[in-house]
Amino acid sequence: MSNQPKEIRFTKMHGAGNDYVVLDAIRDPMPDDLASFSRRVAHRNFGIGADQVLVVRNSQDADFRMDIYNADGSQVEMCGNGLRAFYKFLRDEGHTTQDAITVETLAGIQKPSAAGNNLFHVDMGLPVLEPAKIPTTLGSGDGPVLDVEIDVDGTKVTLCSVSMGNPHAVVVVDDVETAPVHTLGSAIELHPAFPNKVNVEFIQVIDRTRIKQRTWERGTGETLACGSGACAVGVTSMLRGVVDRKVTIELRGGELTIEWPDNTSSVLMTGPATTVFAGTIPLEEV
């Protein structure tokens, strides 16, 4: 017999504007089909509205596990902004009182920690620079993939690529406000050079300590922020030598600080997480 619930408790949260519906599978039974439920609940007209749905679970390998579903129902490896929201949810709901925890994701074990003043650190680990592991067909050997030209529907585009647990392509533009994020972003997401699809960041380097970023997120579309994307932007910009080893990424929904002391160190992301509201939603109404 199915344990399908009649309604689901949820918490709406965001990290620098990247918004989430958080579900607590430790406390509550989950829908039988989370992919379908995520598509419905993430819809901004007929559901709650979210870039992604985060599911809190127990883990045998870490303190907790975070399952991530895009707005189109696809499951993805990692989300840096989501990890901060996830950690805040755990603290607010009394699942942990620790100042630092470990979280299992499809990208491996992640390590969020409290930074005070509603800010949270995330140790994002080492960036993946090897093309085959990003994965991308652009380049070979150990990488990095920097300033590579590809053909996108007849247009030549120069980009960099890195994985922060999920694949990213970074495109430098003169003005992010006028960048063709929706048309070019969607085309690059599906480009055959990226077999698992790719998140696309359009960036404008302001100076050595600040970058403006817009993000086309695979399976979702343009989002107000992307934490792993900000890390990818910081890493590729540092490798290109155009910014310092600590940089502020200015996103449409807020700011994140990215630090990468050297090429052998983990990438550290610092930013906010905010609870918007909580409630219950009947299954038949989503």
Q: What is the pLDDT of residue 2?
A: 57
Which 8-state DSSP code applies to residue 225? -
Q: Which is catalytic among the residues 170, 181, 226, 273?
A: 226
3-state class (DSSP) for residue 167 = strand
231 given a catalytic annotation: no
The SS3 assignment for 67 reads strand
Q: What are phi and psi of 11, to 5 degrees?
A: -130, 125
- pLDDT number for residue 3: 65
**pTM listed for this prediction:** 0.89
Low-confidence ranges of the chain (pLDDT < 70): 1-3, 284-286
- The Cα 92–Cα 86 span in angstroms is 10
Structural contact between residues 49 and 42, judged by C-beta atoms closer than 8 angstroms = yes
Whether residue 163 contacts residue 202, with contact meaning beta carbons closer than 8 Å, is answered with no
**What pLDDT score does 6 carry?**
85
Question: What's residue 4's pLDDT?
Answer: 72
Q: Please give the pLDDT value at position 1.
A: 42
Torsion sign (Cα): 171, 177, 180, 183: positive
Name the residue ranges covered by the structural domains of the chain: 7-120+273-285, 131-265
C-alpha 4, offset from chain centre: 29
Radius of gyration of the chain from its Cα atoms, rounded to whole angstroms: 18
Count the residues in the chain.
286
User: Which two structure tokens, joined as six digits, stand for 224?
Assistant: 């107000």
Cα(195)–Cα(154) distance, rounded to whole angstroms?
20
What is the pLDDT at residue 233? 98
CATH superfamily of the 7-120+273-285 domain: Diaminopimelate Epimerase; Chain A, domain 1 (3.10.310.10)
CATH code linked to domain 131-265: 3.10.310.10
226 tagged catalytic: yes
pLDDT per position as a tens digit, 2-28:
567 788 999 999 999 999 999 999 999
The two tokens of residue 57 are 């679970």
Would you say the CATH fold of 131-265 matches that of 7-120+273-285? Answer: yes
Burial of 173 (0-12, 13-18, 19+ CB in 10 A): middle
Mean pLDDT of the chain: 95
